[in-house]
């Protein structure tokens, strides 16, 4: 188990070289990876639909999404790092239903 944690941290350290504030994940994320990213001050948004990730990629002008984290050392920052002018959250409530939606504004 500690070998797995060590390996995950090593891979995530490569991701952290890009200095992300926010990481978007299509599926679930390993709890060790999530806690490690959070300990480094990185917010993780997970369980996103592929179409949503593609829209984020388009809005932030990210050229390529990371398909497999262990390929990260082969990528350049300008390929996988996107930017946006503003990120904000808005809560919507309707009767008993509540939803918080994240908005990304283009530069």
Q: Tell me the pTM.
A: 0.73
The string of pLDDT tens digits covering residues 61-91 is 877 666 666 556 665 555 567 788 888 889 9
The string of pLDDT tens digits covering residues 11-39 is 888 888 888 888 888 888 889 889 999 99
Which ranges constitute the DSSP H helices of the chain? 2-16, 31-39, 50-59, 77-80
Q: How confident is the model at residue 61, as a pLDDT? A: 81
């Amino acid at each position: 188990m500690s070998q797995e944690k060590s390996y995950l941290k090593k891979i995530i350290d490569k991701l952290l070289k890009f200095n992300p504030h926010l990481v978007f994940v299509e599926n679930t994320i390993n709890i060790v990876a999530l806690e490690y990213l959070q300990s480094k001050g990185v917010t993780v948004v997970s369980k996103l639909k592929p179409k949503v990730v593609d829209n984020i990629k388009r809005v932030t002008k990210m050229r390529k999404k990371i398909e497999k984290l262990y390929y990260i050392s082969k990528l350049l920052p300008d390929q996988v790092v996107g930017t946006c002018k503003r990120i904000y959250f808005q809560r919507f409530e309707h009767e008993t239903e509540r939803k918080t939606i994240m908005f990304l504004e283009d530069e």
